[in-house]
Chain A
C-alpha cells in the first residue's frame, strides 16, 4: 500500500496525455453521509427514477445482485445468487487477501493525476466476482450515483469472472436531477479467466457540467469472452476514457461497442484499445456516434502481435445538428499473418434515405428519427435480453430528446 501511495503521490500533478485537463482542487472530496439501506424500496422515488434511466432497477426484477454507491459511500451491496460476490472494494481489501492480486494490477496507479486521485482519496467502488463454473443468469447491477453538487467521486472497481463462469454486469452512472456540476473518477480492472464469459454494459446518464475520467484495463485468458458496451447519450461536459484490453490466451475474444450522442455542451473522447497477443484471438471495436452540436472523438486501436489473429474496427459518425466528430481508427499489425480491417465514415443523414421513408408515409421528422434509431441499433451478439432492453430504452429516450 505504501508503495502504491508513493507512486500515486508522484503522479499527483501528472496530466493525462489526452482529454482536457481538470483542476481537481475545484471539486470537493470529503465524505458525504448516506445511510446504508437493506431494502432498496426505501430509496426516494426521485433517486429511483434517475437510476432506472441508467439501467439500474431498484425493484431488482431480473437482477442477480445490486451495488449502489451514493456520492462517497456504498448504500447497498448484495448478491442474490450463489457463486456471485458483490462487495464494496474497501471491505474487500480489508477482508479478502485475494483482492490484492487484482488491485492496481492492470491499471497503473501513476498513469495520471486521476489514477493517483483514486489511490490517494478512494471513496469506494465494487468488487464483483463470479466463482469458477458459476453461471449468473441475470445481470448484476451497479450504480454510481452523484447527489452532492461539486463533488469528486473517486471509485475503483474490480470485476473477476473466474474460470468457466458467465457474468453479466450492467453499471449505470447517474446524477440526481438537481445536480449540475461534479467529477467522476473511476478505475476499473477486468479479469476474464479461462473459458469465462463477461459482459459489461455501462450506461452513463450524467448532467451538463459533469466531468468524467475513467481508466480501465482488462485481461482475457484462453477461450474467454469479454463484451464491453458503453452507452452515453445524455449531456455531459467532458468524458474521456480509453479502455484497454489484453487478449493473453489462445482464442480469447473481446468486443467493444459504444453508442455516443454528443449534445451541444459535450466533449467526448471515447475509444477502445485491444492487444491481440495470442493466436486465434479476435477483437472487434464498433462505435456509433451522433452529435447534435457536441464534439466527439471516437478512437479505436487494434494491435495484432502474433499471426493468426483477426480484428475489425468500425466507426460511424453522424453529424445531425452541428458539432464535430473526429474518428481515429488505428490498426497495428506487428507480424506477418494478421488479419485486420477497419471502416470509418462520418457524415450527415442521406437525404435519399429520408425521402425513401417519406414516400412510405412518414413525416420528415419521423423519418429522421427512424434513421437515427436505426443508426444506433447495433446488434450485440451474446448480450442477455434484459441488457438489450436497457440499451434499447436508452436509445429510445435519447431519441425523444433529440427530436
Chain B
C-alpha cells in the first residue's frame, strides 16, 4: 500500500503541495486530474524521491516502510516505477541497456520491445530525438522490464498520435493487470481478486480512461487535493464546466 499523510512539499521557496492525504491499496489504480501547474507532476516526483522536491511536513510510506527521506534508487528497489513525461536524453546509453538496467539483466529486451513496437529503437541512445509517442513507448518498455509494484504514469497520453494511443493505453492496462484476456485457468473474477499492482496516473485530459479502468479519481488544484470520487464523474464535470470550477471546491 502507498500511504501519504498530510504531505507538504516545497520546490525552492514555493509551497507546491499542501496537506495531501492519499492511499492506494494493492490492486488499486487511481487517476489524478488537474490543470497545468497544479502540482501533479510534483506529487509524482515527490513519491519517486526527487530531492529538489523538499518534504517540509507529513509522511510517505510504501509497503509499511517510511519513504519520506529515502533516496530514489531505494524507492525503485522497493518496487516503485515511473513513466516520465519528459525524460532526459543520455548520450551513449542505449535503450536496450536501459531495459536491461530496469530488468537487472534478467529480461529479454528484444521480446519486450516487440510488444510495444519499439524493436528498432533498442540500439538508439535513450530518448535522443524521440517523438512524444516514442518516449511513451520507451518508458512503458522500461516499466515492463522493471516489474514494479506501484507504477506512476505522468501524462501517458500526451503527445501520442492516434495510431499509438491504443497501444499505449492497452499496455498500461496490462501492466496494471487490468486487461481482460481470456484465461482458461482463471475466471475474470479470480484475476481481479489476484490483482496486486498499484497504479497512479496523472492526466490533464482524461483520455486515458478510454483504455484503462481505474478505481478512484481525484483532482489536484493549486497543490490541494480537492475531490475524490468516481473518475468518470470527475471527467464529465471537467469536460463540461472546466477546471475553473475546481477553484470553488479548493477553497
User: Is B9 on the interface with A (CB-CB < 8 A)?
Assistant: no
| Cross-chain contact B73 with A359 (CB below 8 angstroms) | yes
User: Is B159 on the interface with A (CB-CB < 8 A)?
Assistant: no
| Cross-chain contact B71 with A358 (CB below 8 angstroms) | yes
Which chain B residues border A36 with CB–CB below 8 Å?
A: none
Bound complex: CA A364 to CA B104 (Å): 16
- With both beta carbons as reference points, the residue of chain B lying nearest to A361 in the complex is identified as B76
Bound complex: CA A364 to CA B93 (Å): 16
Contact with A along B91-126 (1 / 0, CB 8 A): 111000110011010000000000000000000010
User: Is A373 on the interface with B (CB-CB < 8 A)?
Assistant: yes
User: Is A355 on the interface with B (CB-CB < 8 A)?
Assistant: yes
A374 partner, pick from B50, B71, B76, B90, beta carbons under 8 A: B90
- With both beta carbons as reference points, the residue of chain B lying nearest to A372 in the complex is identified as B92
> What band does the interface of chain A fall in when counting residues whose beta carbon is under 8 Å from B?
20 to 34
Bound complex: CA A358 to CA B91 (Å): 16
| Cross-chain contact A360 with B146 (CB below 8 angstroms) | yes
Bound complex: CA A129 to CA B84 (Å): 54
User: Is A362 on the interface with B (CB-CB < 8 A)?
Assistant: yes
Q: Which residues in chain A, 361-375, are within 8 Å of chain B measured between CB atoms?
A: 361-364, 367, 370-371, 373-375
User: Is A350 on the interface with B (CB-CB < 8 A)?
Assistant: yes
Which chain B residues border A364 with CB–CB below 8 Å?
A: 71, 73
User: Is A352 on the interface with B (CB-CB < 8 A)?
Assistant: yes
> How far, in Å, is A107 (CB) from chain B's closest CB?
34
Bound complex: CA A363 to CA B73 (Å): 6
- With both beta carbons as reference points, the residue of chain A lying nearest to B90 in the complex is identified as A353
Bound complex: CA A391 to CA B73 (Å): 30
> How far, in Å, is A309 (CB) from chain B's closest CB?
26
| Cross-chain contact B91 with A375 (CB below 8 angstroms) | yes
| Cross-chain contact B92 with A375 (CB below 8 angstroms) | yes
B93 partner, pick from A352, A355, A363, A371, beta carbons under 8 A: A371
Q: Enumerate 18 A-B pairs (CB-CB under 8 Å) in ascending A order.
A: A355-B51, A356-B88, A357-B101, A358-B73, A359-B73, A359-B75, A361-B76, A361-B101, A362-B73, A362-B101, A363-B73, A367-B73, A371-B90, A373-B92, A373-B93, A374-B93, A374-B125, A375-B92
User: Is A377 on the interface with B (CB-CB < 8 A)?
Assistant: yes
| Cross-chain contact A355 with B50 (CB below 8 angstroms) | yes
Bound complex: CA A353 to CA B128 (Å): 13
- With both beta carbons as reference points, the residue of chain A lying nearest to B50 in the complex is identified as A355
Bound complex: CA A380 to CA B104 (Å): 28
Binding site for B on A (CB under 8 A): 350, 352-353, 355-364, 367, 370-371, 373-378
> How far, in Å, is B223 (CB) from chain A's closest CB?
22
Q: State whether A374 and B92 are in contact (beta carbons under 8 Å apart), knowing that A359-B72, A361-B76, A363-B73 are contacts in the complex.
A: yes
> How far, in Å, is A38 (CB) from chain B's closest CB?
43
Which chain B residues border A360 with CB–CB below 8 Å?
A: 76, 98, 101-102, 142, 146
- With both beta carbons as reference points, the residue of chain B lying nearest to A395 in the complex is identified as B92
Contact with A along B57-81 (1 / 0, CB 8 A): 0000000000000011101110001
Contact with A along B19-63 (1 / 0, CB 8 A): 000000000000000000000000000001111000000000000
Bound complex: CA A32 to CA B101 (Å): 51
Which chain B residues border A353 with CB–CB below 8 Å?
A: 88, 90
| Cross-chain contact B101 with A374 (CB below 8 angstroms) | no
- With both beta carbons as reference points, the residue of chain B lying nearest to A373 in the complex is identified as B92
B92 partner, pick from A350, A355, A356, A377, beta carbons under 8 A: A377
> How far, in Å, is A162 (CB) from chain B's closest CB?
36
| Cross-chain contact A370 with B101 (CB below 8 angstroms) | yes
- With both beta carbons as reference points, the residue of chain A lying nearest to B77 in the complex is identified as A361
Bound complex: CA A371 to CA B91 (Å): 8
- With both beta carbons as reference points, the residue of chain A lying nearest to B92 in the complex is identified as A374
Bound complex: CA A353 to CA B91 (Å): 10
Bound complex: CA A178 to CA B146 (Å): 47
A361 partner, pick from B91, B125, B146, beta carbons under 8 A: B146
A-B contacts besides A353-B88, A364-B73, 8 pairs, CB < 8 Å:
A352-B88, A357-B101, A360-B98, A370-B93, A370-B101, A373-B93, A374-B93, A376-B92
Which chain B residues border A361 with CB–CB below 8 Å?
A: 73, 76-77, 101-102, 104, 146
Which chain A residues border B101 with CB–CB below 8 Å?
A: 357, 360-362, 370
- With both beta carbons as reference points, the residue of chain A lying nearest to B94 in the complex is identified as A374
> How far, in Å, is B95 (CB) from chain A's closest CB?
12
Which chain A residues border B51 with CB–CB below 8 Å?
A: 355
- With both beta carbons as reference points, the residue of chain B lying nearest to A375 in the complex is identified as B92
Bound complex: CA A376 to CA B91 (Å): 9
Which chain A residues border B242 with CB–CB below 8 Å?
A: none
| Cross-chain contact B76 with A359 (CB below 8 angstroms) | yes
Bound complex: CA A367 to CA B74 (Å): 13
Bound complex: CA A353 to CA B127 (Å): 11
> How far, in Å, is A351 (CB) from chain B's closest CB?
8
Bound complex: CA A87 to CA B88 (Å): 51
Which chain A residues border B90 with CB–CB below 8 Å?
A: 353, 356-357, 370-371, 374
> How far, in Å, is A21 (CB) from chain B's closest CB?
37
Bound complex: CA A10 to CA B88 (Å): 56
A358 partner, pick from B72, B88, B92, B142, beta carbons under 8 A: B72
| Cross-chain contact B82 with A359 (CB below 8 angstroms) | yes
Which chain B residues border A362 with CB–CB below 8 Å?
A: 73, 101
> How far, in Å, is A365 (CB) from chain B's closest CB?
10
Bound complex: CA A376 to CA B90 (Å): 12
Bound complex: CA A378 to CA B72 (Å): 29
B76 partner, pick from A358, A370, A378, beta carbons under 8 A: A358
Bound complex: CA A103 to CA B111 (Å): 57
> How far, in Å, is A350 (CB) from chain B's closest CB?
6
